[in-house]
């Protein structure tokens, strides 16, 4: 016998059983059949409670007059580890900076939430939301209008009464 071969100590054929083993197996499956202990979550009807730390789809805060709060400072594209934010800033005639292009690629985003942490004006947030399925790949790049339209709650990591986490 080769040295690496492990010899299993199998029972003798006289000591083995097929019928009794099969019947006890069938008894087991029957018990499960009549009283299944289902743990399946009926997803669209039953929703999971999201963790307080949940970081999901982004949203852009807006001023009362409908302008985005973003001042196009460029901190979020700089800090973004996945490099998924594209920002082209502009300046209006009063000297206020605003984003001309603000796009987040939700495919590349790793939802670390650092854009929210770094934002000086509390404009960009990650939200308590994850159902963002689409029929088209291109729809996953959220532009500024789309980010402003998002109406799901922001993550509980951010407390609106203490916006700069002090």
Partner 1 sequence: METLQPIAGIWGLVAMSLKTLVIFSGLILVVAYTTLAERRVSAWIQDRVGPNRVGWFGLLQPVADGIKNFLKEETLPATASRAFFVLAPVLVLVPSLITFAVIPIAAPLPTPVGVVDMIIADVPIGILYVLAFSSLAVYGVVLGGWSSNNKFAFLGSLRASAQMVSYEVALGLSLIPVLMLAGNVTLTEVVWQQQQLGMWFAFPLSLAFILFVISAFAETNRLPFDMPEAESELVTGYHTEYSAMKFSAFMISEFGHMVTASALMATLFLGGWDLPGTWDDAFWHQGQLIRGFAADGSVLLASPALWKTALTFVGFACKTALFVLLFIWIRWTLPRFRYDQVMSLGWKVMLPTSLAYLMLIGGTILVLDEIGLAWGFWYGLGLTAVSGAATAVFMFYLDRGRTITGAAAQRQHMAIKSTSEPVAAGD
Cα dihedral 45→51→57→61 (10° resolution)? 110
Token digits of residue 56: 């999901």
The 31-60 contact track toward partner 1, x by CB under 8 A, reads -xxx-xxxxx-x------------------
Nearer to partner 1 (CB atom), residue 30 or residue 107? 30
- Residue from 3, 6, 29, 151 binding partner 1 (CB under 8 A): 29
Instruction: Tell me how many degrees the CA angle 80-83-89 measures, rounded to the nearest 5.
Output: 80
Considering the complex, what minimum distance in angstroms separates the CB of residue 38 from partner 1?
A: 6
Residues of span 9-28 touching partner 1 by CB under 8 A:
10-20, 22, 25-26, 28
The three-state DSSP-derived secondary structure of 134-157 is CCCHHHHEECHHHHHHCCCCECCC
Considering the complex, what minimum distance in angstroms separates the CB of residue 7 from partner 1?
A: 9
Nearer to partner 1 (CB atom), residue 32 or residue 63? 32
* Cα dihedral sign, 149-151-157-163: positive
Q: Is 66 exposed, middle or buried (0-12, 13-18, 19+ CB in 10 A)?
A: exposed
Nearer to partner 1 (CB atom), residue 17 or residue 83? 17
Choose one: 4-12, 73-81, 94-102, 109-117; the region binding partner 1 (CB under 8 A): 4-12
Helix (H) or strand (E) holding 98: strand 97-105
Residues lying near partner 1 in the complex (CB under 8 A) are found at 1-2, 5, 8, 10-20, 22, 25-26, 28-30, 32-34, 36-40, 42
């Amino acid at each position: 016998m080769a040295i690496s071969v492990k010899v299993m100590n199998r029972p003798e054929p006289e000591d083995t059983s097929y019928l009794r083993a099969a019947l006890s197996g069938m008894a087991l499956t029957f018990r499960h059949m009549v009283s299944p202990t289902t743990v399946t979550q009926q997803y669209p009807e039953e929703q999971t409670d999201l963790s307080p730390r949940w970081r999901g789809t982004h949203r852009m805060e807006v001023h009362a007059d409908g302008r985005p709060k973003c001042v196009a400072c460029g901190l979020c594209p700089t800090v973004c580890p996945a490099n998924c934010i594209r920002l082209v800033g502009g300046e209006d005639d009063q000297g206020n900076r605003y984003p001309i292009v603000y796009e987040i690629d939700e495919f590349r985003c790793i939802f670390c939430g650092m854009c929210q942490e770094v934002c000086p004006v509390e404009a960009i947030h990650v939200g308590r939301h994850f159902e963002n399925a689409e029929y088209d790949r291109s729809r996953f790049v959220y532009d500024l209008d789309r980010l402003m339209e998002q109406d799901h709650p922001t993550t509980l990591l951010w407390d609106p009464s203490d916006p700069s986490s002090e």
